[in-house]
Amino acid sequence: MLTVVTPAYNETRNLPLLYEQLKKVLDDPALGIEWEWIVVDDHSKDGTFELMAGIAAQDPRVRSARFSRNFGSHAAITYGLNHARGDCAVTMAADLQDPPDLIPTLLAEWKKGAHIVWASRSNREGESFSTLLFARLYYDLTSKIEGLKNRPRTGVDFCLLDRCVIDAFAQMHESHVSIISLIAWMGFRQTTVLYNKQARRFGKSHVNFEKKLLLALDTITAFTYAPIRMMSYAGFVIAFLGFCYAAFIILRALVGSPPEGWASLIVTVLVMGGIQMVMMGILGEYLWRTLDEVRSRPRYIIESATDKPGSWSSVNQPVTASAANAPASGQETLT
């Protein structure tokens, strides 16, 4: 059985088309599988949940839940994976940029023994130059981090995960993390399938530059301490240079011509001040994430769901809006 997980934010125009395409591809007798579709409404303003509830009422394979506020697509995918009943799961955006036609290819790789099958875009249609440049920079920079080397360099938007990966993922309770990077970091047997990423069908992308920057910072702070280590190295180098400069001034004073004026002083103060502030900023990035993780707030809160709360999974019970303030008895019940 295959579970398809779709995060959705204001996608009423795309979801009916995606549903039709999924049925066409997955109901094919040649594929011979059972399937379910979980659509997680990330607090849309356009009636996405009502639309999905209507589809779910007619098709028992379809389920949907609505978040109490916008928690982001990664939280929505996390919810879907935590409630998947399949032997494997495919995550897939609602906007038809991730083509359902590719699912049989992903399944074929899974049947050959892969635990994680990345669908990586060999080409992206309808994207701006700055989007492509930022994506290139992000992947090139973060691919150097140990543990993320398996992730395809051309970028990932969706993937197929085996049950063992879904179960391992359910034990991760971080919120400040790109789930693609987290899954890559887990290891297992990973393979990649290339595809042509289409332009978005209706509406425009919800991922602005600020969200992309936050994701890049999350990936860096979640998987490497290199920036903190670089701060220590920079501190040593600057201290050494300062020591050399001091020696130089003393030497000049001894030979009777000490350097004059405050220009050199103010340059040193400004450069040092700037470097120290950047270093404190880097520490701050790690520190506030630590504080936020220690608070252990749920990664999402459910406002309503098409199934009765608790009936989706015996382990991961959805938190309903009314239960959200109840004392936490453990991470499992919070997610």
Q: Which spans of this chain sit near Mg ion (rule: CB under 5 A)? A: 93, 95, 97
Question: Counting Cβ atoms within 10 Å, is residue 227 exposed (0-12), middle (13-18) or buried (19+)?
Answer: middle
- Residue from 22, 72, 90, 306 touching ligand UDP (CB under 6 A): that is 72
Judged by CB under 6 A, does residue 212 bind ligand UDP? Answer: no
- Residue from 64, 82, 97, 221 touching ligand UDP (CB under 6 A): that is 97
Minimum CB–partner distance for residue 120 and ligand UDP (Å): 14
Judged by CB under 6 A, does residue 118 bind ligand UDP? Answer: no
218 binds, among Mg ion, ligand UDP, none (CB under 5 to 8 A by kind): none
Q: Which stretch binds ligand UDP (CB under 6 A): 53-61, 141-149, 198-206, 307-315?
A: 198-206
CA dist 78 to 57, 94, 114, Å? 24, 15, 21
Minimum CB–partner distance for residue 55 and ligand UDP (Å): 16
CA dist 66 to 18, 173, 197, 205, Å? 18, 20, 27, 20
- Please tell me what DSSP assigns to residue 100: G
13 binds, among ligand UDP, Mg ion, none (CB under 5 to 8 A by kind): none
Sorted by sequence, the CB contacts under 8 Å of residue 206 that are 6+ apart come out as 9, 10, 73
Q: Which two tokens stand for residue 274?
A: 């700037």
94 binds, among Mg ion, ligand UDP, none (CB under 5 to 8 A by kind): ligand UDP
Sorted by sequence, the CB contacts under 8 Å of residue 309 that are 6+ apart come out as 302, 317, 318, 320, 323
Q: How far apart are CA 178 and CA 220, in angstroms?
A: 10
- Residue from 1, 17, 68, 70 touching ligand UDP (CB under 6 A): that is 70
Judged by CB under 6 A, does residue 154 bind ligand UDP? Answer: no
Judged by CB under 6 A, does residue 206 bind ligand UDP? Answer: yes
Sorted by sequence, the CB contacts under 8 Å of residue 125 that are 6+ apart come out as 196, 197, 198, 199
- Residue from 84, 88, 94, 148 touching ligand UDP (CB under 6 A): that is 94
Cβ nearer to ligand UDP, comparing 85 with 206: 206
Q: Which stretch binds ligand UDP (CB under 6 A): 5-13, 30-38, 182-190, 258-266?
A: 5-13
212 binds, among ligand UDP, Mg ion, none (CB under 5 to 8 A by kind): none
Judged by CB under 6 A, does residue 303 bind ligand UDP? Answer: no
Provide the terminal-to-terminal Cα distance of the chain, rounded to the nearest Å: 23
**Consecutive H or E run containing 37:** strand 35-41
Cβ nearer to ligand UDP, comparing 205 with 313: 205
- Residue from 2, 4, 5, 9 touching ligand UDP (CB under 6 A): that is 9
- Please tell me what DSSP assigns to residue 324: G
For residues 64 and 306, the answer to whether their CB atoms sit within 8 Å is yes
Judged by CB under 6 A, does residue 8 bind ligand UDP? Answer: yes
Instruction: Determine how β-strand 156-162 pairs with β-strand 116-124.
Output: antiparallel
Q: Could you tell me the sign of the dihedral formed by the alpha carbons of 23, 26, 30, 32, in that order? A: negative
- Residue from 39, 83, 89, 95 touching ligand UDP (CB under 6 A): that is 95
- Residue from 84, 93, 165, 220 touching ligand UDP (CB under 6 A): that is 93
Which residues sit at the interface with ligand UDP, rule CB under 6 A? 7-9, 11, 42, 70, 72-73, 76, 93-95, 97, 200, 205-207
